[in-house]
Amino acid sequence: MNGKVLKVVEYNLTFGSSARMVNVFGLIRFKKNNGLYVLYADQNNQYNIINYGGSHIKGNTILSMSCKKEDEEIIKEYIFKVTNEEELNDFEIISLEPIEGIEIISSNHLELKPDVINNLIDKTIPKKEVVEEPVKAPKPKKKNPAKILLFFIIILALIIGGIYFFAPEILLGSKESKTLTCTITKTDNSLNATLEETKILSFDYKNILKEIDTTTTFRFNEKKDYQDFINKGTMYKYMPENETQGGFKQDEETNTFIITKNETITPDYDKATNYEEVLLENKREGYKCEEKVLGE
């Protein structure tokens, strides 16, 4: 296997430490130009995108840095040969055995079909060994009808109690719930871009905030600022920590980058959760909000 699962030890030297793990599909040296490259993707990759870049070994860590656009053909050739099980005569495979982490300074990205990514993972990433424990035959026990009845009564009581506590509308009948749609447009001079943000805040029948869906649209004034936002990794500063909590879209023709986030409100949430307080808080921050009532 040419690859390994590694921990990302740092993003772009400024974003701090990260707990994100990536599949590294190979650390390779292309013999024709003696260039060292690394290609990788998040373990929970939902965007069908892999990242690649020029590389350097620093102790037990490898670095990823942006490389020339022409180098994309080298990466494509490596992927094609690996997934089709062809000889890698033009490549030297560098062992990842002593490597423990990857430091991402910057990178290029390449969109692939899902089946190609899955094939690449199968051909390069070692599988975890599963040790099966011997199954012991259970000794037959005599069933006590009274205990069985008591067990089902307790389970039924827990189910009804849980429904009453977490979703009382099921037992008491449906009640109204609300959503707030709040929007704001602002200019970010550091990015040379206009930011358009839309938040959809969902409340339960008690007018308590339960979920926030946010869409942020970056409209860049210049092509160079748009490309720097992506190639220098600045976009990661605005993206959710976990890919399951959102995603992104981009339009190179209009220099537009869109990030979506989904946040479920937990006890750790440190802002207002009452409907009236949430509405007042967003208006103070400059948002324009519209209310929509759901249900009867």
135 domain residue, yes or no: no
Residue 172 falls inside a structural domain: no
Same domain, 182 and 102: no
Quote the pLDDT of residue 10.
64
Tokens of 10: 């740092």
Using 50, 70 and 90 to split pLDDT, how confident is the model at 9? confident
Report yes or no on 133 lying in a domain.
no
Mean of pLDDT values over 241-246: 73
Residue 38 lies in a domain: yes
Whether 119 maps to a domain, the answer reads yes
The pLDDT assigned to 174 comes to 46
Cβ-proximal residues to 82 (8 Å cutoff; 6+ apart), any chain:
2, 25, 26, 88, 120, 123, 124
Do residue 271 and residue 182 come from a single domain?
A: yes
Q: State whether 184 and 286 are in the same domain.
A: yes
Instruction: Give the range of the structural domain holding residue 50, as residue numbers without chain letter.
Output: 4-124
Query: Where does the pLDDT of residue 178 fall: very low under 50, low under 70, confident under 90, or very high at 90 and above?
Result: confident
Q: Are residues 15 and 91 in the same domain?
A: yes
User: Does 100 lie in the same domain as 33?
Assistant: yes
| Residue 181 · residue 290 · CB < 8 Å | yes
Distances (CA, A) of 177 to 66, 195, 205, 287, 294: 48, 29, 4, 21, 5
User: Where does a domain end: 58, 93, 124?
Assistant: 124
Question: Span 60-83, mean pLDDT?
Answer: 91
- Domain identity same for 216 and 114: no
Task: Say what the pLDDT of residue 69 is.
Answer: 85
Rg (alpha carbons) of the chain, rounded to whole number: 26
Choose the final residue of a domain: 124, 147, 163: 124
Would you say residue 48 has pLDDT above 70? yes
Lowest-confidence region among 33-42, 84-93, 154-163, 226-235: 154-163
Tokens encoding 68: 């020339």
Is 198 inside any structural domain? Answer: yes
Q: Is residue 163 assigned to a domain?
A: no
The whole model's pTM is what?
A: 0.45
Tell me the pLDDT band of 135, cut-offs 50, 70 and 90: low
Give the lowest-confidence range in 74-83, 155-164, 169-178.
169-178
How do strand 35-42 and strand 49-58 relate by DSSP bridges? antiparallel
Angle at 242 between CA 260 and CA 187, to 5 degrees: 40
Q: Mean pLDDT, the chain, as a whole number?
A: 85
Percent of the chain with pLDDT over 70: 85
Q: Are residues 114 and 15 in the same domain?
A: yes
| pLDDT at position 296 over 60 | no
User: What b/e readout covers 44-54, taking b as 16+ CB neighbours within 10 angstroms?
Assistant: ebeeeebbbbb
pLDDT tens-digit series, residues 13-41:
444 455 688 999 999 999 999 999 999 99
Pick from 89, 109, 124: which residue ends a domain? 124
CA within 13 Å, CB half, 272: 13
User: Are 92 and 183 members of one domain?
Assistant: no
In angstroms, the CA 223 to CA 225 distance is 6
Backbone angles phi, psi at 104, to 5 degrees: -95, 105
Residue 182 and residue 109 share a domain: no
Cβ contact 22:6 at 8 Å: yes
- Do 185 and 89 lie in one domain? The reply is no
In the 3-class helix/strand/coil scheme, how is the chain assigned residue by residue?
A: CCCEEEEEEEECCCCCCCCCEEEEEEEEEECCCCEEEEEEEECCCCCCEEEEEEEEEECCEEEEECCCHHHHHHHHHHHHHHHCCCCCCCEEECCCCCCCEEEECCCEEEECCHHHHHHHHHHHCCCCCCCCCCCCCCCCCCCCHHHHHHHHHHHHHHHHHHHHHHCHHHHHCCCCEEEEEEEEEEEECCCCEEEEEEEEEEECCCCEEEEEEEEEEEEECCHHHHHHHHHCCHHHHCCCCCHHHEEEEEECCCCEEEEEEEEECCCCCCCCCEHHHHHHHHHHCCCEEEEEEECC
pLDDT tens digits, one per residue of 195-227: 999 999 999 989 999 999 999 999 999 999 999
182/120 same-domain check: no
**236 found inside a domain:** yes
Do 170 and 194 meet the contact criterion of CB atoms below 8 Å apart? no
Tally of structural domains, the chain? 2
Percentage of the chain lying above the pLDDT 90 cut = 51
